[in-house]
Amino acid sequence: MMSALREEDFLYARLSLHRRAVERARKRIARAQTKPGRWAVSFSAGKDSTVTLALVREQAPDTLAVMVDSGAEFPEALTFAGATPNVVIEPAVIPLLDMYRMTGEHGAAAEMPDTHWGRDDIKASVLVMPMQRLYERHSITGVYTGLRGDESSARETFGATRSQPWRGAGDLWRCEPLIDWTEADVWAYIASHALPYCPVYDRYAEIGAPRHVWRVAPYAGGTAIGYGRWAWLRRGWPELWEQFAAAFPYVRSYV
């Protein structure tokens, strides 16, 4: 299988620009570690959370990682998470594919205005509520996430105005060590540290998908449609696609 890593990733890792980004991330983590209580890393098996977990465990090796199984995860992502030490996986309140079954074509897939499952409902079921259960069960008072500012203008503004760490809703401390990183920084860190990463990325590379569509996020839902990810799912994971499309035939019209 072709590797997701490229020669430019190793070259970028040698730049002082990247080394300074790594040091800034380490300093943010160090500041977070001064806050009382127990911290965890929000983990998705994706590249950003994988690098975040590695950086955090440089300073706090026993840090717990918490992940939600939406019910529509790539099998490789769940296998990778299961093989990563000290990762706890929580099921969604209502699995994403069950939402499809309950609402049909105008449900979670298309996110039509009159659907019972709005964007906030979906987010609550497959992320917010399961994470809250994990935080309560493991007495988590602070969480690291792999949020990057270059993913959207809103996140860039957030990164420019928010100090790290910061206190969010419910007095939960939050820290985004990679907030000013680029995608190039993430791949450079993986390359230069020989960091194991989810093999989903290697599959994307093998089928010729451009890097900007490489996602380990659930293969169902609005973002899967918006980024054209179902076309790549059909090409790279034909068996998974056929199972998905057999259960929900209307998804074929999106590719």
Q: Where are the domains of the chain?
A: 7-195
Q: Taking the model in full, what pTM does it have?
A: 0.91
Which class for 246: exposed (0-12), middle (13-18), buried (19 or more C-beta within 10 A)?
A: exposed
Confidence of residue 110 (pLDDT cuts 50, 70, 90): very low
pLDDT score at 2: 75
Residue 177 has pLDDT above 70, yes or no: yes
Express as a percent the part of the chain with pLDDT over 90: 69
pLDDT score at 181: 96
In the predicted model, what is the mean pLDDT of the chain? Answer: 89
pLDDT score at 13: 98
Cα separations in angstroms, 23 against 49, 155, 186: 17, 21, 13
CATH superfamily of 7-195: HUPs (3.40.50.620)
Comparing 207 with 122, the larger pLDDT belongs to 207
